[in-house]
């Protein structure tokens, strides 16, 4: 059976981090600095505003660029399975995680998510085994925070993916660290947005860090705990290759327009 989830030791995603070393022959060797997992989007929250695989949204960044190649393969495999469950996907992802060497930080779900408590427990248990090998932390972002308890993620440095201020409030109340999608950054440093949320812009996006490996904000447990205590959200400006960024911006603006009407 074709895979519905996969994992790699050294991701070549430049956002995560790639070390380039010149060789004597004039060529350059490259090594990914983070491990990563990918799961079919059939594992995602169907209510996610960016989910166009099993929901009514559009603009998921994993639908564009190199990540889309893996995602499409996983989605094709998942679509052929009758009555596929979140737990089946999580079981495959957990198996893939346990094949990794544990020698670099682990980014869970470059594509995919865990949208039930049991699937989150399965993946987080595998992630804990990964960290036990050499102490490297795991991190992820989830749109399923409203239906999955924070405790189900165990030691994973998990961030609730939020689009609105109410999302941030509700996710914080459940014990989640938060990451908020924004149209653009008002500063490259900590600022308060128009909705009263404290935003710490992604250092990779602003250029303050070359990549996730260099930054570490999202997988450093102390950093995550401080942000929860101060109700600070990591900010991500809408992004995505191959037109996904424009779709994501439209989806975000649609959600924000609803929030403005409700607030009025």
pLDDT per position as a tens digit, 42-70: 999 988 888 877 777 777 878 778 888 89
Q: Return the closest-CA partner of residue 176 out of 197, 163, 162, 164.
A: 162
Q: Return the closest-CA partner of residue 167 out of 157, 156, 155, 180.
A: 180
Number of domain units in the chain: 1
Read off the pLDDT of residues 71-109 as tens digits, 9 standing for 90 and up.
999 999 999 999 999 999 999 999 999 999 999 999 999
Q: Is 118 exposed, middle or buried (0-12, 13-18, 19+ CB in 10 A)?
A: middle
**CA dist 219 → 52, 90, 247 (Å):** 28, 21, 28
Percent of the chain whose predicted confidence (pLDDT) is above 70: 96
Integer Cα distance of 148 and 241 in angstroms: 29
Q: Whole-model pTM above 0.75?
A: yes
Contact predicate 241/69, CB 8 Å: no
**pLDDT at position 264, please?**
45
**pLDDT at position 54, please?**
76
Domain hosting residue 64, numbered range: 5-263
Local structure of residue 115 (DSSP, 8 states):
-
């Amino acid at each position: 059976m074709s895979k519905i989830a996969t994992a790699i030791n050294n991701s070549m995603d430049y956002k995560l981090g790639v070390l380039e070393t010149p060789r004597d022959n004039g060529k350059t060797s490259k090594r990914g600095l983070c491990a990563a997992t990918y799961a079919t989007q059939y594992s995602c929250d169907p209510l996610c505003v960016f989910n166009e695989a099993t929901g009514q949204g559009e603009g998921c960044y994993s639908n564009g660029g190199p990540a889309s190649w893996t995602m499409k393969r996983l989605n094709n495999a998942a679509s052929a399975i009758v009555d596929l469950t979140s737990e089946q996907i999580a079981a495959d992802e957990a198996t893939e995680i346990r094949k990794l060497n544990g020698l670099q930080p682990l980014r869970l779900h470059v594509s995919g998510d865990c949208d039930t408590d049991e699937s989150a427990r399965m993946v987080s248990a595998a992630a804990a085994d990964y960290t036990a090998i050499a102490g490297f932390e795991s991190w992820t972002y989830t749109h399923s925070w409203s239906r999955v308890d924070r405790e189900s993620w165990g030691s994973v440095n998990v961030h609730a993916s939020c689009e609105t201020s109410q999302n941030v409030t509700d996710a914080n109340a459940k014990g989640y660290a938060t990451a908020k999608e924004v149209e653009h950054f008002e500063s490259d440093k900590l600022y308060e947005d128009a909705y009263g949320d404290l935003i710490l812009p992604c250092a990779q996006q602003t250029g303050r860090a070359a990549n996730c490996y260099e930054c570490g904000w999202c997988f450093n447990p102390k950093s995550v705990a401080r942000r929860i205590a101060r109700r600070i959200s990591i900010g991500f400006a809408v992004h995505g290759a191959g037109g996904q960024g424009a779709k994501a911006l439209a989806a975000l603006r649609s959600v924000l327009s609803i929030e403005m009407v409700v607030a009025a």
